[in-house]
Amino acid sequence: MIPKKVSLISLFAVLMLALFTLSLQEAAAYADSSWRAQYYNNKNLSGTPVVERNEPEINWDWGYHGPVVGVNEDNFSARWTRSVNFTAGTYRFSATVDDGVRLWVDDGLIIDSWKDGAKRTLTADRYLSAGDHHIKLEYYENTLLAFTRLTWSRIADAPPPVTINNWRGEYFNNTNLSGNPVLVRDDANIDFNWGFGAPAPGVGADNFSVRWTRNLVLQPGRYLFSARVDDGVRVWVNNRLIIDRWMQQATQTHSGEIELPGGSVPVRMEYFEQTRVAEAHLAWTRLTSPPTGGPSQGTATVTNAYFLNVRSGPGANFSPVAQVARGDVLYLMGYRNAQSNWILVALPSGTQGWVHAGYVTSSVPVSSMTVWQGGSPPTGTPGQPGSYNATVSTYFLNMRTGPGINYSIVTTLARGDGMTLTHRDAAGNWVRATLSNGTQGWVHAGYIQSVAPINSLPVAN
């Protein structure tokens, strides 16, 4: 019979030994000097591993046998994980297996051959920044021979050069475009529907982000940009943020409009995918264009204001007809006020108005422009002296066949509709106008916003 005291001491010793062994196992599991290996008695790494241990390398030729006691000879799978410190450079990863294999670097799948097959070697090149990177290899064995080996070597100091002819696509394995991209490539268009898949090897199917940049050569005018995405999106055009929907969402289309001066225009689209379906598309169309033979008196760029009102006359007491933003380019119409602090401009869409000279940088001296006296109108469209633009300022406005309410209605206009003014009646209460579709008629001057006084128009015969 064993004394109770001896039994208690033995039990205590067993418990201390178990705790010590567990501590060693936990310490080994997080050691960068070895791989943490998990083996499963199935081909899809499901359930609880039957064996877990640390291994110095992944270099196994088991032949027709199982990896270790407790693991099947066939129909088994394994997962190895490890954090490895790399110096900066481009690395070639090589996995030699029989049968299936998947390799992740920093959560990016770079080798994917999850299928039966004879012994073969698969490679992938990846640029890695200096520091720790997480490596994960998954493997399964079907029948007959079992073999798996993983190696890598540094093949270059810098990322391989990428020739960009279209969109520069930078792909990140996070949702906030942080750190170095795991992939940089030339994308012909931003027109992707990846579904539940990944954009490319090395990029995750979920929780990734992309930045596309490009300069587009566009004609002057007002443009509509549309982004159809699942999930978040931001779009900058000519360095102006016109779409900002940085949020998790089902597939939706978002749009924004902008006036563009034409020429080379920088465009940037940022996108992130959270989970499930992933798609990203960008399209644009020109809504309006400048009048034929547009203004040629020089340009003014908005430089000293985030947003700037374009007004119907040379002063802050005149109502706004449009709004422009920093970086927008306007056409000079060649006119200023007597104090030289307001100048007449035209937007790329053809809309005309006055802006404060202190908020723009002009390509010609303001003092060299003609002083606007109100006696003769500025040139709106070359070849049509005596005409300029106006917009409807009331909710609805009837255009009539003559200068008075007793004339029949030609059409009904809505607030914001534009027109070109050509003549007025003797009292200056009615003006004759032409719409963009060529329709002509008379509207009451009290319900429109004009870039210059109505009495400067010639009186109709």
Residue 14 has pLDDT above 80, yes or no: no
Task: Give span(s): CATH 2.30.30.40, the chain.
Answer: 299-371, 388-456
Among 235-239, 261-265, 430-434, where is mean pLDDT lowest? 261-265
Q: Which CATH class is domain 388-456?
A: mainly beta
Query: How many percent of the chain have pLDDT more than 70?
Result: 85
Residue 449 confidence (pLDDT): 74
Superfamily of domain 27-156 in the CATH hierarchy:
Galactose-binding domain-like (2.60.120.260)
pLDDT tens readout for residues 143-183: 999 999 999 999 988 777 788 999 999 999 999 999 888 88
Residue 398 confidence (pLDDT): 87
Residue 389 confidence (pLDDT): 72
The architecture that CATH gives domain 167-287 is: Sandwich (2.60)
Task: Give span(s): CATH 2.60.120.260, the chain.
Answer: 27-156, 167-287
Residue 240 has pLDDT above 80, yes or no: yes
19 band by pLDDT with thresholds 50, 70 and 90: very low
pLDDT tens readout for residues 369-395: 888 865 333 444 332 334 467 778 776
Residue 289 confidence (pLDDT): 61
Residue 376 confidence (pLDDT): 37
Residue 308 has pLDDT above 80, yes or no: yes
Residue 451 has pLDDT above 60, yes or no: yes
CA pair distance 279, 429, nearest whole angstrom: 55
Residue 421 has pLDDT above 60, yes or no: yes
Residue 127 confidence (pLDDT): 84
| Mean pLDDT computed over 65-82 | 94
Residue 452 confidence (pLDDT): 61
Residue 388 confidence (pLDDT): 60
Residue 350 confidence (pLDDT): 67
Mean pLDDT score across all residues of the chain: 84
33 band by pLDDT with thresholds 50, 70 and 90: confident
Superfamily of domain 299-371 in the CATH hierarchy:
SH3 Domains (2.30.30.40)
pLDDT tens readout for residues 284-306: 988 766 544 344 577 888 988 88
453 band by pLDDT with thresholds 50, 70 and 90: low
| Mean pLDDT computed over 34-56 | 95
| Mean pLDDT computed over 134-147 | 94
Residue 374 confidence (pLDDT): 59
| Mean pLDDT computed over 200-210 | 91
CA pair distance 37, 96, nearest whole angstrom: 17
| Mean pLDDT computed over 120-131 | 88
413 band by pLDDT with thresholds 50, 70 and 90: confident
